[in-house]
Amino acid sequence: MLRQRKVGPEDARSWLLVNGSRTDLFDAAHASRADQVVLDIEDAVDPANKAEARDGVGQWLSGGDRSAWVRINDRSTDFWDGDVAKLAGLPGLLGVMLAKTEAAEQVTETFDRLGGSTPVLALVESALGIEEAVSIARARGAFRLAFGSGDYRRDTGTSADDLAMAYPRSRLVLASRIGGLPGPIDGPTVSSSHPVLREQTAVTVSLGLTGKLCLDPEQTPVINEVISPTPSDVAWARDFLADFEARGQVIRDGSDKPRLGRARKIERLARTFGVEPA
């Protein structure tokens, strides 16, 4: 049975990447605990097999109660044109993840070619992309930013150390805020260790990113838990909001407004993710 998604892409925590040439994995991914599924016809697929993978993805998205995002090839490649032509108008297409985004016009051209209503998630994977992050976030059609951390390290020679990777992550957080987008999506954790995944996802949250790419369905429950408000956070938020209402919504001092904003955000996410107070 295919699972009906309850967490929308604007709030989605776990984004499960699935090899676009492995159609046998699509149903299982759709039934997983991932908030959103991304069928990957870019880096996951050998160039010789891209046309076949594109056709398989198109057929799957055209049949029945099936829906997913698709990671398409970057604008500078010959594959991009075929990708958008094949995907435009498919009933199960939720949106596209545009690989190696480096300019605002790449987002807008993709958006327009898909008909002007399909959201484009810009995957930023290079030094130039990080530099242009604000203009990318402001581009017409841009829905959310994501961090291609592996290709970024390859492009810049940066290590995977948290300190070394803090700047590009923070840059995407600021660009998203300036562009009026939801929080950005962090790159994947390659390790299969749940403690490592939990630690790295906590870093994601601490820097202000609100989602994370993943490569294995087993990673999704951990990511979802760490990115969600904790039960104790929800208890604090509801207590604060109840007290605020009880005193007639009166602001007592300068700390009340920031705490009110945080409490309201926690309460909204708690309802979205189904988190109950401790």
- What CA–CA distance (Å, rounded) separates 22 from 125? 24
Q: For tokens 């490649």, what's the residue?
A: 77
pLDDT at 1: 42
pTM of the predicted model as reported, rounded to 2 decimal places: 0.94
Domains of the chain from N-terminus onward: 14-227 (3.20.20.60), 231-273 (no CATH)
Q: How many CA atoms lie within 13 A of 3 on its CB side?
A: 15
- What CA–CA distance (Å, rounded) separates 85 from 82? 5
Residues 75 and 52 sit within 8 Å (Cβ to Cβ): no
Phi then psi dihedrals of residue 22, to 5 deg: -105, 75
pLDDT at 18: 98
- Give bridge partners of residue 18 from the DSSP assignment: 39
pLDDT at 250: 80
How many angstroms separate the Cα of 44 from the Cα of each of 11, 39, 135, 272?
A: 25, 9, 28, 31
Helix, strand, coil percentages in the chain from 3-state DSSP, rounded to 5: 50, 15, 35
Within 8 A by CB and 6+ apart from 181, the residues are 137, 142, 143, 144, 145
pLDDT at 249: 82
Within 8 A by CB and 6+ apart from 192, the residues are 216, 218
- pLDDT tens for the chain, 278 residues: list them: 445 558 999 999 999 999 999 999 999 999 999 999 999 999 999 999 999 999 999 999 998 789 999 999 999 999 999 999 999 999 999 999 999 999 999 999 999 999 999 999 999 999 999 999 999 999 999 999 999 999 999 999 999 999 999 999 999 999 999 999 999 999 999 988 999 999 999 999 999 999 999 999 999 999 999 999 999 999 999 999 998 888 888 888 878 899 999 999 999 999 999 999 97
- What CA–CA distance (Å, rounded) separates 49 from 80? 14
- What CA–CA distance (Å, rounded) separates 131 from 137? 12
DSSP string, 42-95: STTS-GGGHHHHHHHHHHHHTSSS--EEEEEPPTTSTHHHHHHHHHTT-TTEEE
Give ∠ CA 50-117-41 in degrees, rounded to 5: 15
Residues 17 and 41 sit within 8 Å (Cβ to Cβ): no
- What CA–CA distance (Å, rounded) separates 219 from 32? 10
Count of Cβ atoms closer than 10 Å to residue 159 Cβ: 10
